[in-house]
């Protein structure tokens, strides 16, 4: 299985062979990095907003947890009301919809927890939404550095049974925008 990462001047896209593509703007990535960096002892996170294009997802912005979020070293619950307002504003200003969730881990758990997967299953089961795919970003806060993990959750229907498949698309440092010559030069 091959993971690939492609970057443009404004965003980076992640894919694993055959999976949906998740692209994230550098501004959304740096927002998540900054929120996570400022919260070294307790988890933080928020919602991801952007656009669905078939099963592919474009993430354009990431919210902060909000003032009434519940945050501890091994648990995180975002401020639902605050995130709802963030989404309404994003929708009004940029037509951006709810496309995913992000949060951080601060206890060196470098993967989604069982609780994270249960939460995710709840989102797919929610009759208010009809997701084909969903983006999940995890930021692991380590001593000196931050690790970025990008996942896509997709519904597969096999023999009339719905199954949620979670695929890791990326694990590594936060990608930086390519400096210098871009492929848009020469227009």
Smaller CB separation from Zn ion, 13 or 104: 104
Q: Does 3 bind Zn ion (CB under 5 A)?
A: no
| Closest to 133 in 3D by CA, of 65, 73, 56, 78 | 56
Smaller CB separation from Zn ion, 11 or 104: 104
How far apart are CB 36 and Zn ion at their closest, in Å? 12
Smaller CB separation from Zn ion, 52 or 113: 113
Helices then strands, counting H and E runs in the chain, come out as: 3, 11
Binding mask 38-67 for Zn ion (x = CB under 5 A): ------------------------------
Query: Among 11-19, 44-52, 115-123, 139-147, which window interacts with Zn ion (CB under 5 A)?
Result: 115-123
31 φ/ψ sector (left φ>0, alpha ψ -120 to 50, else beta)? alpha
- Binding Zn ion by CB under 5 A: which of 64, 101, 116, 168? 116
- Binding Zn ion by CB under 5 A: which of 3, 8, 30, 113? 113
Smaller CB separation from Zn ion, 131 or 151: 151
- Token pair 């200003």: residue: 93
Query: Among 12-20, 114-122, 146-154, 176-184, which window interacts with Zn ion (CB under 5 A)?
Result: 114-122
DSSP letters, 106-168, are: SSS--S--HHHHHHHHHHHH-TT---SEEEEEEEEE-SS-EEEEEEEEEEEEETTEEEEEEEE
Could you give phi then psi for residue 95, rounded to 5 degrees?
Answer: 65, 20
Residue ranges in contact with Zn ion by CB under 5 A = 113, 116
């Amino acid at each position: 299985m091959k993971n690939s990462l492609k970057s443009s001047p404004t965003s980076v896209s992640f894919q694993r062979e055959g999976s949906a593509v998740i692209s994230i703007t550098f501004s959304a990535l740096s927002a998540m990095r900054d929120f996570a960096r400022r919260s070294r002892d307790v988890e933080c996170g928020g919602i991801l907003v952007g656009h669905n294009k078939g099963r592919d997802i474009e993430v354009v912005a990431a919210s902060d947890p909000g003032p009434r979020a519940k945050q501890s070293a091994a648990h995180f619950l975002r401020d639902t009301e605050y995130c709802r307002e963030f989404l309404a504003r994003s929708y009004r200003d940029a037509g951006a919809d709810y496309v995913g969730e992000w949060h951080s881990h601060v206890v060196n758990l470098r993967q989604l927890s069982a609780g994270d997967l249960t939460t995710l299953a709840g989102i797919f089961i929610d009759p208010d939404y009809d997701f084909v795919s969903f983006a999940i970003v995890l930021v692991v806060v380590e001593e000196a550095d931050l690790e970025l993990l990008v996942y896509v959750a997709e519904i597969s229907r096999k023999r009339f049974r719905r199954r949620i498949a979670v695929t890791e698309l990326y694990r590594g440092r936060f990608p930086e925008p390519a400096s210098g010559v871009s492929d848009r030069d020469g227009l």
